[in-house]
Structure 1
């Protein structure tokens, strides 16, 4: 996902030093401007001392804001102790306001300057000086907003990573979904026929090898061509025909251009083996049609057999993972139809 430079400046750790330098410079400009306004009637008398006063005021604000950033926010706000954080912030702002008034009184008294405040002991002086605390409130809130945004971004990235791992695991489970029952039966059948019918045993092993080769190599890809999947389905049905003890036959019909259509590997086979594993099907008719971006898969078998509810739910979960809102699955007694829109 493309991210703007402003977004990266706020979130990326590599810009951390730059963010702090920007904040310090901005805070310095605001603080010195506030000091110059507060002592504007005495600038001629103060001379270069005004910069020392500004530096002292800047250090006070900087210390307070970084105590908020490194202590209050991690200890209270990020731990969702919001009331404690608000109360602590109010106390800090109040203390900073008192410190500012005390500093101004001390500086003006020490340097023999006229006092712009008539009575420093009057409680109303705190109310009159609330505007001076706006800089602190802005700094506190800006730090809270940036910190919360970064926490939200981190949590969102973590959730997305978990979702991706979940989807990846589901896809990997789907890719390995060729029934171990059928594979095990194929090996047992090949071993049983090794002495009595070596040619058929060799055919079973070769067919099984082609299936496993497809799983190992082709299925490593996220998408495969439909004609490759059809070849795999045919090999799977041939293997089923070789290893079954009861009569089994199938008819596979392909319509449309399957050389351009692509789908997730081992998608259709889940439906086939859900039927073949749970019951002994004697006749299976499969039609696969590719029209533009749509793929239609139809499977007809014995009327008395249908897809079990647990198998149907499992198939639909996998389709929801790979093709959400892009498929339609219809199951009747003796038939299954899957319409899939590939993009």
Structure 2
């Protein structure tokens, strides 16, 4: 707290010290040390009061409410006010010490007017510099707050998208187990063990912004094993994983929807065996996922799941890897292909 206070007031404090020394040296060249000190203290004190109210009270409100035109008008008024004050100080301390002033105030006006005119550049410099320093600080604070708000919004959006993936995956696996319990209890028991591994990963790992790539790949392999058991000999599934840097980091559950989508839409028609080919590789912190499957326009599992997956993952890719990914999806009525490249070092 003390450091923030010191950092906030450091530049303005240096400015006032430099201004005070400059004023004193300037006045001392023409007046006695006492008169020079008196003028310096008076002008410095009044300048600090005016600029404090202007920069600490009015400027933040003007920036917040976007009323900078009104603030500019008030700043001009404050510059004129400071110039009038400086004129009186100059006239009644500096001028009066050299020669007697006219008795009547009306006769003093030409002297005051001259002092006012000569004080405008100095007043403009004082208030302009003080406002400039404060504007820089306040604008920087607003920008930082805006970035934090954007970051919070993105994190909340990512959390929402990720939370949509989790029940989606869990629903599919539980549905498989439910079906197998009626057909093959031993196989259902094996799937329950797989399910516990998958659930453990999602509960303890997927609440992080990034996970170890090796763990994410193992999670994908478990899901693929579940799907293989689910479909048995009805489809051919081939996989290839070549991960060079197993400790690389990746956003969790980012690749799952593509694999789920392949099993969801793979063709399964009489006298024709559909296939799914999954290739995933990583080299130099760049991951490449390629999926190819025979394609059926009506998804096999449409009665069980909604179309959350691909829309979800596209949004997540744009949020997490906005300029570090390439996604190409093509289909020709028979084959469905996904080609995804992510530069993991860009997060």
Q: Tell me which interval the TM-score lies in, with the shorter structure as reference length.
A: 0.7 to 0.9
Q: For 2:202 and 2:112, how far apart are their aligned partners in 1?
A: 80
Checking the alignment, whether the CA contact within 8 Å between 1:108 and 1:114 is kept in structure 2 is no
The match for 1:166 is 153
Give the alignment partner of residue 71 of structure 2, picking from 85, 88, 91.
Answer: 85
Checking the alignment, whether the CA contact within 8 Å between 2:329 and 2:339 is kept in structure 1 is yes
Deviates more, 1:56-65 or 1:207-216: 56-65
Q: CA deviation at 1:302?
A: 1.7
Q: For 2:147 and 2:326, how far apart are their aligned partners in 1?
A: 27
The match for 1:240 is 227
SS of aligned partner of 1:73: helix
Q: CA deviation at 1:277?
A: 3.9
Checking the alignment, whether the CA contact within 8 Å between 1:182 and 1:277 is kept in structure 2 is no
The match for 1:296 is 288
Deviates more, 1:173-182 or 1:84-93: 173-182
SS of aligned partner of 1:265: coil
Give me the CA root mean square deviation: 3.9
Q: For 2:98 and 2:245, how far apart are their aligned partners in 1?
A: 94
Q: For 2:179 and 2:295, how far apart are their aligned partners in 1?
A: 33
Checking the alignment, whether the CA contact within 8 Å between 1:174 and 1:267 is kept in structure 2 is no
Checking the alignment, whether the CA contact within 8 Å between 2:59 and 2:135 is kept in structure 1 is no
Give the alignment partner of residue 123 of structure 2, picking from 133, 136, 144.
Answer: 136
Checking the alignment, whether the CA contact within 8 Å between 2:237 and 2:276 is kept in structure 1 is yes
Checking the alignment, whether the CA contact within 8 Å between 1:176 and 1:215 is kept in structure 2 is no
Q: For 2:245 and 2:63, how far apart are their aligned partners in 1?
A: 58
Deviates more, 1:225-234 or 1:303-312: 303-312
Q: CA deviation at 1:78?
A: 5.5
Q: CA deviation at 1:207?
A: 1.3
SS of aligned partner of 2:136: helix
Q: CA deviation at 1:141?
A: 0.8
The match for 2:200 is 213
1:121-160 alignment to 2 at 5 Å? 121-122=109-110, 126=113, 129-160=116-147
Deviates more, 1:81-90 or 1:206-215: 81-90
The match for 2:86 is 100
The match for 1:320 is 318
Q: For 1:210 and 1:154, how far apart are their aligned partners in 2?
A: 45
Structure 1 residue ranges without an equivalent (≥5): 1-8
Q: For 2:244 and 2:62, how far apart are their aligned partners in 1?
A: 63
The match for 1:33 is 25
Q: For 2:328 and 2:281, how far apart are their aligned partners in 1?
A: 16
Q: For 1:309 and 1:188, how far apart are their aligned partners in 2?
A: 17
Q: TM-score, normalised by structure 1?
A: 0.75
Give the alignment partner of residue 189 of structure 2, picking from 186, 190, 202.
Answer: 202
Indicate yes or no: 2:199 matched with 1:187: no
Q: For 1:177 and 1:76, how far apart are their aligned partners in 2?
A: 42
The match for 1:6 is none
Structure 2 residue ranges without an equivalent (≥5): 269-273, 300-305
The match for 1:331 is 329
Q: For 2:192 and 2:228, how far apart are their aligned partners in 1?
A: 13
- Count, aligned residues: 326
Q: CA deviation at 1:149?
A: 1.2
Q: For 1:179 and 1:96, how far apart are their aligned partners in 2?
A: 65
Pair 1:339–1:27, CA change in 2 (3 A): closer
